[in-house]
Amino acid sequence: MTTAAIIVAAGRGTRAGGDVPKQWQVIAGQTVVEHTLDRFAAHPHVDDIVLVVAAEDLDFVDALGLEARATIAHGGSTRAASVLSGLARTNADYVLIHDAARCAVPADVIDRVIDALQTHDGAAPALAVTDALWTGAQGLVSGVRDRTGLFRAQTPQGFHRTAILAAHGACAQDAADDVEIARSAGLDVAIVGGDERNLKITTPGDFARAAHHLEVPMDIRTGNGFDVHRFGPGDHVVLCGVKVPYERGLQGHSDADVGMHTVTDAIYGALARGDIGQHFPPSDPQWKGAASYIFLEHACQMARDMGFTLTHVDCTLICEFPKIGPVAAAMRAEMARIMQLDVDRVSVKATTSERLGFTGRGEGIAALATVTLVKS
Ligand SMILES: Nc1ccn([C@@H]2O[C@H](COP(=O)(O)OP(=O)(O)OP(=O)(O)O)[C@@H](O)[C@H]2O)c(=O)n1
Ligand SMILES: C[C@](O)(CO)[C@H](O)COP(=O)(O)O
């Protein structure tokens, strides 16, 4: 059995307000329609998607490249007409008719509708009314109604395609939803569990409520860096942006700031965007003697451009001399300034290698770094 989602998005959204109809407004990083498409595209039992849009909204479809994500159908002046237009564009066995404006529909609601279609002509999610129900007039409560057996209807409303197509054909007037049309044709429609997150954006306040339910997956990345520079003639070294007097200097094409290079490489690593040599080739004369903050600022800007926030940096310098302890606070402050980070998110520490190896013999300085980047 095949299943198609028919997402109706041809309304004008008059109650929601805004410069464009609600389904084309952006919440949580993308348009309402794109969130809704994501939900159905990610569902393992949905084989096909038909998106029904108003003819005057085709520019949005083009701009967002939605033809690549769904079959596009043209909507009508009523919701029922839009549904009928969508039904004409699929041959699937089951159809799930869904409001584009319910953009946070959870996958298990879709599951329950599809499951119930194995034993019913139709199935739709709903929530039992739990609040007391009153009638009112002139600002006063005029009566109480029994809430027993009352439900708040949601979508997707699922049906055997041929059955709902025939029901629409036989229904002369508009209806609130497809369940009403199905029932007027005598189809049995099962009620399955709905979900409060499956709200329909209807009024302006609903945008923030829906955005709250859209789970934007957090992307957390760590990157590591390692670098070595050899000692040579000189009277100071530059480490993590701080000039430290010493009897020798570090050799390198740039200012040889081994700490800053290591952190820069760690950021490129977390972004999977190569390394410092790739962005600033040693063969390029313009970087001869360059201050290394240029490299670090480039990596930080690249992270921002890719939507990441740098949240933490830990850099370890490995050397016997010069002693790092007295200048570590200045190094943290300078690194934090360049990276636009709070200083309590920047660690610079040092260790010796117990006089072992090239760092132990005082031939050079090595540095290690770990950084954390977050996109949410
Ligand atoms: N002629 C129509 C009317 C509505 N819809 C769609 O049906 C869903 C539910 O309708 P509703 O929330 O009432 O949307 P609008 O008609 O756009 O809202 P309003 O009544 O505030 O103008 C929405 O996704 C809407 O885009 C549609 O495809 N075609
Ligand atoms: C289909 C529906 O979402 C069920 O709750 C609803 O009927 C759509 O539109 P309405 O105009 O807000 O009733």
Atom of ligand 1 nearest to the CA of 22: 17
Q: Which CATH superfamily is domain 219-375 in?
A: 2-C-methyl-D-erythritol 2,4-cyclodiphosphate synthase (3.30.1330.50)
Atom of ligand 1 nearest to the CA of 78: 1
Task: Indicate if 219-375 has the same CATH topology as 3-214.
Answer: no
CB of 370 within 6 A of ligand 2: the answer is: no
Q: Using 50, 70 and 90 to split pLDDT, how confident is the model at 216?
A: low
The pLDDT score that the predictor gives to residue 312 is 97
- The predicted complex's ipTM stands at 0.93
The pLDDT score that the predictor gives to residue 215 is 64
Q: What is the mean pLDDT of the chain?
A: 96
**pTM as predicted:** 0.67
- Direct distance between the N- and C-terminal alpha carbons of the chain, in angstroms, rounded to an integer: 37
Query: Could you tell me whether strands 157-160 and 122-128 are parallel, antiparallel, or unpaired per DSSP bridges?
Result: antiparallel
Over residues 70-86, the pLDDT tens digits come to 999 999 999 999 999 99
Atom of ligand 1 nearest to the CA of 53: 28
Which residue ranges have their beta carbon within 6 Å of ligand 1?
Answer: 8-16, 23, 52, 75-79, 82, 99-101, 200, 202
Q: How many CB atoms lie within 10 A of CB 26?
A: 13
Substitution site in 98, 177, 195, 198 for ligand 2 pocket (most atoms within 8 Å of beta carbon): 177
CA-proximal residue: ligand 1, atom 1 (nearest): 78
Which CATH number applies to 3-214?
3.90.550.10
Over residues 188-202, the pLDDT tens digits come to 999 999 999 999 999
Residues in binding site:
227-229, 253-254, 261, 275-277, 351-354, 358, 361
Buried b (16+ CB within 10 A) or exposed e, 74-100: bbbeebbbbbbbbbebbebebbbbbbb
Residues in Cβ contact with 279 at an 8 Å cutoff, skipping those fewer than 6 apart: 268, 295, 298, 299
Q: Give domain limits for the chain.
A: 3-214, 219-375
């950021």: which residue's tokens? 267
Atom of ligand 2 nearest to the CA of 101: 3
Substitution site in 79, 113, 154, 180 for ligand 2 pocket (most atoms within 8 Å of beta carbon): 79
8 A C-beta contact, residue 6 and residue 90: yes
